Structure 1
């Protein structure tokens, strides 16, 4: 019986190492697959990082381009606004001169029926209306500049 004890235990031990080898073989394959998968993922990650860096540099370039264009547009707008102010002032001066010429002509013809105070009131109304129009023009330009600046800030 002593001999029979070692014999049954031997067959149990022998199949155990072969079972471990069989278990190790799929584990080895799994490790190889995981290593390959990890390599693929690392490659994709590197590619994504490069894409992100390229996108950021393109974005920075586009932002700079848009800021430059916005600055140019703002300068153009300010130049045009200043020209409009000068034109407006010139037209106002011309209109005042024409009013004075008409008044003088009417006086010379003796057809003047407005007294001096009424003419001054009319002239003051015209001046006030002209100044109001100029202020509205400036306010519109300032609002345009303000909204453009708000759009350009991050």
Structure 2
């Protein structure tokens, strides 16, 4: 035998009785304790609301459900739009990062080449300066040697 307690509690609340999706009013009538004893008996003593009061009770609920569905659709649309915007933003950001990395790589290569050129130029300058120093030193030595015999000869003449 089935437990009839939930059915009886549904019958005691008119709003639950009419809004129940799993149990229609007909099924409630068929599953009532009176239906087991006498099928031709009158419906339970709980007074059912009239169809006009039923419509009055359901109208605000129906409009509220419609509002909620519309709001849900709007929110889902906004979420989809935000997801698309985020995806577009990420794509643009990834593109910019890739571009900047390529530019930095090119700049780094250019910088390395320029530094190597400067090193080479400085080494050439060092070599040139060293050569010039050597030339000046040799010239001074040569001058000193040429002047030294003349000085020696003049010193000898003066000593006599």
TM-score tier (shorter): 0.5 to 0.7
Structure number having the greater helix percentage: 1
TM-score, normalised relative to structure 2: 0.62
TM-score normalised by L of structure 1: 0.64
Query: What do residues 94-135 of structure 1 show as CA deviations (whole Å, max 9, x unaligned)?
Result: 10111121111111122799xxxxxxxxxxxxxxxxxxxxxx
Partner of 1:33: 78
Separation in structure 1 between the aligned mates of residue 135 and residue 157 of structure 2, nearest angstrom: 27
Give the Cα–Cα distance (whole angstroms) in 2 for the partners of residues 54 and 16 of structure 1: 56
Work out whether 1:79 is the aligned partner of 2:121.
no
Distance 1:111 1:36, change over 3 A: farther
Gaps of 5+ in 2: 1-44
Query: Superposition pairs for residues 105-120 of structure 1, below 5 Å?
Result: 105-110=150-155
Match of 1:59 in 2: 104
Q: Which segments of 5 or more consecutive residues in structure 1 lack a partner in the other structure?
A: 114-154
After superposition, residues 1-154 of structure 1 pair within 5 angstroms as 2-3=46-47, 5-7=48-50, 8=53, 11-110=56-155
1:92 Cα deviation (Å)? 0.4
Alignment length (residue pairs) = 112
